[in-house]
Amino acid sequence: MKKIAIIALTASIAVIDYSAAVAQTPWALIARKAVGRVTQMTQEAPPPGAAGGQTGGYDVATVMLDADAGKVFAVALDRALHNPNVTVVSRDAVARRLELQSGTRMAGLTVNALGTGLSQLLVASVRPPGEPSSTAQIVDGILRICTQMKVQCSTQ
């Protein structure tokens, strides 16, 4: 009878430990397979005369990095401040958010902490009507941040 009770207690402790481990495993561990892969999206403006035809498009790129979000933001801010083609319109170090301007284009950059040592860098740019896509420049900027941080990144 004691042996059965000990086996039952041991089995229930093992189940509790396993359940606790699964419950505490952040989804970010699963997402680590996507680390370093730059994903991009471009939305073209509707043709003139169509609904919303007076608006431009937008360009977005994002990457997950095996790096601390604060360090990623610091590198992105430093690069923006030292880029003569970019003006930092606003910055919020607590939220890790920048608003940038280059000519007639505006862009937003944000760095999100996804877990310990895992972050997401997201850059979105609104394009004035008639302007070409700036996705290539956004991706290039992200890849330069990766290089400076010594983190391997690549495009899809």
Q: Give the model confidence (pLDDT) of 61-97 as tens digits.
A: 888 888 999 999 999 999 999 999 999 999 999 999 9
pLDDT score recorded for residue 58: 84
We find that the CATH architecture of domain 26-155 is 2-Layer Sandwich (3.30)
Closest listed residue to residue 66, CA positions, set 25, 119, 143:
119
pLDDT score recorded for residue 83: 92
Phi, psi of 14 (to 5 degrees): -60, -40
